[in-house]
Amino acid sequence: MSVFHLKYRPSKISELDLAEVSDKLTKILKSKDMPQSWLLAGPKGSGKTSAARILAKAVNCLNPVGVEPCDKCKNCQEIARGNSLDIIEIDGASNRGVDDIRNLKESAYLSSINLKKKVIIIDEVHMLTREAFNALLKVLEEPPKNLFFILCTTDDNKIPETVLSRLCQIRFVKGDKDSLKKSLDKIILGEKIKIEEAAIELLLEKSDGSFRNLQRNFNEIFLQIGTKIGLKDVVDYLAKNGEYEGEDLEEDLMTENAEIILGKLEKMAKDGINFSNLRERWLGYFQTKLLGFYGIGNKNDDGLDLLQTKKIIELLIEAGRVEKLTEISQLPLEMVVVDFLGKKDETSNFKLPASPAGRQTSIKKEEIKIEEKKVETVVTGNVEDIAKKWGEVLVAVKPFNHSVEALLRAARPLSMSKNKIVLEVFYKFHKERLEEAKNKEIVLKGLEKVLGKKVEFKCVSTESKKNNFQTDKFQTSEKKEEEIFV
Ligand SMILES: [Zn+2]
């Protein structure tokens, strides 16, 4: 979180970046029937969390000025410090199960400790399971007297109608140019920064309507450049920070060379890129392209065709779903690339271990036949058993860690002798990730659960030997396995 974001975060309703949101909140707070269950819905970085905290202050302030919190009384101060025991903030993405919500409900019925009102804020609430939503229904409808619920979401389409109908809904939108500029001007004036007008324009344009992106970029540039900022500084900063746009991605996808894209993503990870923003920009690009196929906007005939465009959009949406559950921030986008290019037909240049039953390679059809024969003769009954149960292994692992599940999805059991399993993965970094102690433990747990016995596993990566892919692939003799397990 940037320094500017904390320092210039709105602390009153009238200071919220979106004027229509402050107007609506003011109106509701003035009315006699103050709702206790709220939904703040809208895009990332549009100010939902700030608004939730201001609401928490507004209902607890000891000396409110109209509907505004005073920001000085001990209640306002306690909330502003962010350590009040009566303001419970949870992330719906990592506390999505029915048990999480039951625990939350238990604490909901306890009275507040220091403040007048207890406030429960659930961020990314659309990630809750259906059962969890059901468990919430009643308490949302009839919350205990001094309890407020503030649910925040970037995707209210995923919230059941039964829940929505019980909430007072406030809609947030992406910032338009004026409101973005206003929020930036606050910092420019406050920090006495001299900045070229064109530099401001470019920053606004590249913020994608997100106040948070805007402040974060500006904060970074300020830290690197100081109080005099020119257009060139902003251009240089943006160039260094992942200007890998949808158009560039499409071009790279057309070369069917996953290594290039994965290499770029890994490099961007080292530079500390925000992959969530990158994903949104890519999604926006491909959505525009999709509409073009139907005569809406410009039709772009170069690059991916309609089906491929649809596919990449589906994969990018899925990546968004798991991004909060994944510790490795670039991994969801890497899986998009792997999934997309891995599903090309046999003539593709791309080689990726596919599902246990089949594989896609660039080798000719006759060679594939030979290879399949080899599979039949070399693999033992054991490994086939695991291959058949691979789906169960994925299911067993998923609740513990989605990124491990994603990695296993792109792996396949290659051989098994006694209790030693060899998994084949395409990329070296997949092998490294799967063999990290924390992830390894999860895989072992999943395998044990499905196979009913303790096993060991090792990964082999085919990346390094892709040039002689089919020649030595299935000759995992005992000796070879021993080498692997050294
Ligand atoms: Zn106050």
Q: Determine the average pLDDT of the residues in 53-67.
A: 95
- Kindly give the distance from the C-alpha atom of residue 30 to the centroid of ligand 1, in angstroms, as a whole number: 16
CATH label of the domain that carries residue 220: 1.10.8.60
Distance CA 474, CA 281 (A): 42
In a domain, 348, yes or no: no
**β-pairing, 87-91 with 168-171?**
unpaired
User: Which pLDDT score, from 0 to 100, does residue 342 have?
Assistant: 75
162 with 17, same domain?
A: yes
| Residues above pLDDT 70, as percent of the chain | 85
Distance CA 474, CA 422 (A): 11
- Kindly give the distance from the C-alpha atom of residue 58 to the centroid of ligand 1, in angstroms, as a whole number: 7
- Kindly give the distance from the C-alpha atom of residue 21 to the centroid of ligand 1, in angstroms, as a whole number: 21
- Kindly give the distance from the C-alpha atom of residue 85 to the centroid of ligand 1, in angstroms, as a whole number: 17
Model confidence pLDDT, tens digit, residues 428-459: 778 888 988 888 988 998 888 888 888 888 88
Distance CA 59, CA 52 (A): 11
In a domain, 201, yes or no: yes
The average confidence (pLDDT) of the chain is: 83
User: Which pLDDT score, from 0 to 100, does residue 55 have?
Assistant: 96
- Kindly give the distance from the C-alpha atom of residue 41 to the centroid of ligand 1, in angstroms, as a whole number: 26
Q: Is 346 a residue whose pLDDT tops 60?
A: no
146 with 278, same domain?
A: no
- Kindly give the distance from the C-alpha atom of residue 264 to the centroid of ligand 1, in angstroms, as a whole number: 49
In a domain, 350, yes or no: no
User: Which pLDDT score, from 0 to 100, does residue 413 have?
Assistant: 85
Model confidence pLDDT, tens digit, residues 242-292: 668 888 899 889 888 888 899 889 888 877 677 888 898 899 889 989 998
Bridge partners of residue 422, in order along the sequence: 415, 458
Q: Determine the average pLDDT of the residues in 25-38.
A: 93
User: Which pLDDT score, from 0 to 100, does residue 166 have?
Assistant: 95
* Residue 477 · residue 441 · CB < 8 Å: no
Which residues, 6+ apart, have CB-to-CB distance to 175 below 8 Å? Answer: 17, 18, 46, 183, 207, 209, 210, 211, 214
- Kindly give the distance from the C-alpha atom of residue 110 to the centroid of ligand 1, in angstroms, as a whole number: 23
In a domain, 347, yes or no: no
Q: Is 348 a residue whose pLDDT tops 50?
A: no
User: Which pLDDT score, from 0 to 100, does residue 454 have?
Assistant: 85
**β-pairing, 420-425 with 228-229?**
unpaired
- Kindly give the distance from the C-alpha atom of residue 485 to the centroid of ligand 1, in angstroms, as a whole number: 64
Q: Is 206 a residue whose pLDDT tops 90?
A: no
CATH label of the domain that carries residue 394: 3.30.300.180
231 with 83, same domain?
A: no
- Kindly give the distance from the C-alpha atom of residue 75 to the centroid of ligand 1, in angstroms, as a whole number: 6
Distance CA 125, CA 17 (A): 22
Tokens of 62: 């000891």
Model confidence pLDDT, tens digit, residues 297-322: 777 777 899 999 999 999 999 999 88
Tokens of 476: 């995992």
Model confidence pLDDT, tens digit, residues 357-397: 333 333 344 444 444 433 333 334 577 778 888 888 888 88
**3-state class (DSSP) for residue 292:** helix
- Kindly give the distance from the C-alpha atom of residue 69 to the centroid of ligand 1, in angstroms, as a whole number: 5
In a domain, 93, yes or no: yes
User: Which pLDDT score, from 0 to 100, does residue 62 have?
Assistant: 97
**206 or 198, higher pLDDT:** 198
Tokens of 428: 């070296």
pTM over 0.85: no
| H or E, element range at 17 | none
- Kindly give the distance from the C-alpha atom of residue 119 to the centroid of ligand 1, in angstroms, as a whole number: 15
CATH label of the domain that carries residue 330: 1.20.272
Which residues, 6+ apart, have CB-to-CB distance to 90 below 8 Å? Answer: 100, 104, 120, 121, 122, 123
Closest CA to 66 of 29, 40, 32: 29
Model confidence pLDDT, tens digit, residues 82-136: 889 899 999 887 788 999 999 999 888 888 999 999 999 999 899 899 999 999 9
- Kindly give the distance from the C-alpha atom of residue 337 to the centroid of ligand 1, in angstroms, as a whole number: 50
User: Which pLDDT score, from 0 to 100, does residue 371 have?
Assistant: 41
- Kindly give the distance from the C-alpha atom of residue 10 to the centroid of ligand 1, in angstroms, as a whole number: 15
**3-state class (DSSP) for residue 195:** strand
Tokens of 89: 């903030």
Distance CA 261, CA 244 (A): 10
- Kindly give the distance from the C-alpha atom of residue 182 to the centroid of ligand 1, in angstroms, as a whole number: 26
| Residues above pLDDT 90, as percent of the chain | 44
193 with 276, same domain?
A: no
- Kindly give the distance from the C-alpha atom of residue 57 to the centroid of ligand 1, in angstroms, as a whole number: 7
- Kindly give the distance from the C-alpha atom of residue 67 to the centroid of ligand 1, in angstroms, as a whole number: 11
Q: Determine the average pLDDT of the residues in 190-205.
A: 94
- Kindly give the distance from the C-alpha atom of residue 432 to the centroid of ligand 1, in angstroms, as a whole number: 52
- Kindly give the distance from the C-alpha atom of residue 79 to the centroid of ligand 1, in angstroms, as a whole number: 9
CATH label of the domain that carries residue 41: 3.40.50.300
- Kindly give the distance from the C-alpha atom of residue 40 to the centroid of ligand 1, in angstroms, as a whole number: 22
* Residue 324 · residue 295 · CB < 8 Å: no
Distance CA 259, CA 376 (A): 30
55 with 188, same domain?
A: no
- Kindly give the distance from the C-alpha atom of residue 11 to the centroid of ligand 1, in angstroms, as a whole number: 11
456 with 475, same domain?
A: yes
In a domain, 355, yes or no: no
- Kindly give the distance from the C-alpha atom of residue 173 to the centroid of ligand 1, in angstroms, as a whole number: 28
27 with 149, same domain?
A: yes
397 with 274, same domain?
A: no
- Kindly give the distance from the C-alpha atom of residue 146 to the centroid of ligand 1, in angstroms, as a whole number: 17
- Kindly give the distance from the C-alpha atom of residue 43 to the centroid of ligand 1, in angstroms, as a whole number: 29
Q: Is 231 a residue whose pLDDT tops 50?
A: yes
| H or E, element range at 121 | strand 118-123
17 with 101, same domain?
A: yes
User: Which pLDDT score, from 0 to 100, does residue 422 have?
Assistant: 87
User: Which pLDDT score, from 0 to 100, does residue 369 have?
Assistant: 43
Distance CA 183, CA 193 (A): 14
Dihedral Cα 39, 177, 232, 47, nearest 10 deg: -20
193 half-sphere exposure, CB direction, 13 A CA radius: 23
Which residues, 6+ apart, have CB-to-CB distance to 158 below 8 Å? Answer: 126, 127
- Kindly give the distance from the C-alpha atom of residue 68 to the centroid of ligand 1, in angstroms, as a whole number: 8
Distance CA 45, CA 66 (A): 27
475 with 374, same domain?
A: yes
- Kindly give the distance from the C-alpha atom of residue 230 to the centroid of ligand 1, in angstroms, as a whole number: 40
- Kindly give the distance from the C-alpha atom of residue 115 to the centroid of ligand 1, in angstroms, as a whole number: 11
- Kindly give the distance from the C-alpha atom of residue 19 to the centroid of ligand 1, in angstroms, as a whole number: 22
Distance CA 240, CA 248 (A): 15
315 with 369, same domain?
A: no
User: Of 113, 148, 171, which closes a domain?
Assistant: 171
Which residues, 6+ apart, have CB-to-CB distance to 189 below 8 Å? Answer: none
User: Which pLDDT score, from 0 to 100, does residue 484 have?
Assistant: 57
Q: How far is CA 448 from CA 36, 372, 457, in A?
A: 47, 28, 11
- Kindly give the distance from the C-alpha atom of residue 145 to the centroid of ligand 1, in angstroms, as a whole number: 20
Q: How far is CA 180 from CA 112, 205, 209, 237, in A?
A: 37, 10, 7, 19
User: Of 220, 240, 260, which closes a domain?
Assistant: 240
In a domain, 352, yes or no: no
In a domain, 270, yes or no: yes
- Kindly give the distance from the C-alpha atom of residue 211 to the centroid of ligand 1, in angstroms, as a whole number: 26
What count of other Cβ atoms lies within 10 Å of the Cβ of residue 88? 15
The number of distinct structural domains making up the chain is 4
- Kindly give the distance from the C-alpha atom of residue 64 to the centroid of ligand 1, in angstroms, as a whole number: 6
Residue 211 belongs to what domain range? 177-240
- Kindly give the distance from the C-alpha atom of residue 72 to the centroid of ligand 1, in angstroms, as a whole number: 5
431 with 309, same domain?
A: no
**3-state class (DSSP) for residue 413:** strand
- Kindly give the distance from the C-alpha atom of residue 104 to the centroid of ligand 1, in angstroms, as a whole number: 26
- Kindly give the distance from the C-alpha atom of residue 34 to the centroid of ligand 1, in angstroms, as a whole number: 18
User: Of 171, 200, 227, which closes a domain?
Assistant: 171
